[in-house]
Amino acid sequence: MTARPVRLPRAVAASAVALVLPLAACAGTDEPRPSAASSSSSSTSSSSTSSSTSSSAAGAGAASSSPGQGSLRAELDVVAGPVEQAGRISVRVGESVTLVLNSTIDDELHVHGYDLTADLRAGQTTELTFDATIPGVFEIELHDAGTVLLTLQVS
């Protein structure tokens, strides 16, 4: 089964993220509950973002995975302006995370805790893949703009 990245409206994407988790974590206990709750609340906030025409958003995301391998692929638009909190993505410890960033601005992406950075160039798509080996909740932010794009929950 190959990874099939699809761009979806954010609300759909968020539920896809939530769906992926039980597959990725076969021994799922009561853990996914908070993550499902967080995904749905994030979808509400960013659907209101996309409905406003001002350019203040880190917009649509999409997720797909290869079940069993434990991986998450999240796609984000990065545009200028104040970023509203784009919510939280949840993965299990040991999963592979791929961030796909379609940027309209130059900036530097920083994944806290893992201390990873990626240069974003206006008009280009940047991919950042890493293994989620450290448990906790981490911010993924734009260094120059000083804004938080996402929080990543590794549990």
The dihedral built from the CA positions of residue 59, 11, 133 and 138, taken in this order, carries a sign that is positive
- Of 79, 105, 113, 128, the one binding other proteins by CB under 8 A: 113
Residue 24 sits in the site that holds other proteins (CB under 8 A): no
CA 118 from centroid of its chain's CA atoms? 15
CB nearer other proteins, residue 96 or residue 155: 155
Q: Report CA-CA distances (Å) from 70 to 56, 65, 93.
A: 32, 7, 9
DSSP 20-42: HHHHH-TT--STHHHHHHHHHHH
- In this structure, what DSSP letter does residue 85 have? P
Encoded one letter per residue, x for contact with other proteins by CB under 8 A and - for no contact, window 33-72 reads xx--xx--xx-xx---------------------------
Interacting span for other proteins (CB under 8 A) from 7-15, 16-24, 60-68, 127-135: 127-135
Should residue 135 be labelled a site residue for other proteins when binding is judged by CB under 8 A? yes
Question: Contact residues for other proteins (CB under 8 A)?
Answer: 29-31, 33-34, 37-38, 41-42, 44-45, 82, 84-85, 87-88, 112-113, 115, 133-139, 141, 143, 146-148, 151, 153-155
